[in-house]
Structure 1
Amino acid sequence: MSLKLSKAELAALIEVSRGLTSTRLSHNVFKNVRALTGNKLAAYARKTGILEITPQGREYLFSNLCVETLRKLKADPTARAHGEALAFLLRKGHLEVRPDQVGHFLTTKGEESLQDIDAQG
């Protein structure tokens, strides 16, 4: 995704993804609701009027989690990683497990992906 959120907008999106129970918004979400709804990462439910995350928002959070996992494992191959992101990155060939060593290591494809992401941002 070419979309880039600030830290406050990302925190607000994470808060929305946890599930809001009322139409009343926290200060952080209220401050960033325009960016989230404008980028179609969150939308108000028709029946309840509660702000909810959209499929595009879930996709953004997952891709962000995958990038963080790549960076973390590049720095320390033995670091703990999120299970879904780890499985996805292994399946797509961005990470590999070496039988003679402990941990998950970036492949050349993973290195190239990180370079591309860093070049964009």
Structure 2
Amino acid sequence: MSGKLSKDEMDALKEVARGLKTTRLSHKVFKNVKALTSQKLAAYERKTGILQITDLGKQTIFMTLCIDCLRQLKADPCLKVNGEALAFLLRKGHLETREGEVGHFITAKGEESLADIDAQR
């Protein structure tokens, strides 16, 4: 994942990910456009000049979503979370389902990943 983003920058990136229709930017996106473009999370389209999210930006949003899902499921294994992130975390071995129990439980690998992420902050 790229450099650390503030909450405001992440919100702006999510707004760009929804798809902008014009070159006119909202206040939040305008305020953070330099940070997003310098980290190559968003770029201006050549023909139209509209700001669009890059593949790295999509990846950043998805990884943030996965980290949030891990934290939420650590607190409450029965919580309903994003399907794509849940499938990814199950496939990578960060979460598991247990026989006879309801919900998704964080594995030792998932705990280590969260500890590494928290140590970087």
After TM superposition, the score normalised by the length of structure 2 is 0.99
Identity of aligned residues (%): 68
Q: Paired residue for 1:47?
A: 47
Q: Partner of 2:84 in structure 1?
A: 84
Q: Residues 60-80 of structure 1, C-alpha deviation per residue, up to 9 Å, x if partnerless? A: 000000000000000000001
Q: Which residue number corresponds to residue 6 of structure 1?
A: 6
CA distance in 2 between partners of 1:2 and 1:106 (Å): 25
Rounded Cα–Cα distance in structure 2 between residues aligned with 1:3 and 1:97: 33
2:105 is paired with a residue whose SS is strand
- Any stretches of 5+ residues in structure 2 without a counterpart? none
**Per-residue deviation, residues 40-72 of structure 1 (Å, max 9, x unmatched):** 000000000000000000000000000000000
The runs of 5 or more residues in structure 1 that have no matched partner are none
User: TM (normalized to structure 1)?
Assistant: 0.99
Query: Deviating runs (4+, > 6 A) in structure 1?
Result: none
* Equivalent in the alignment of 2:22: 22
Q: How does 1:31-70 map to 2 (within 5 A)?
A: 31-70=31-70
The amino acid of 2:26's aligned partner reads: S
CA distance in 2, matches of 1:35, 1:58: 15
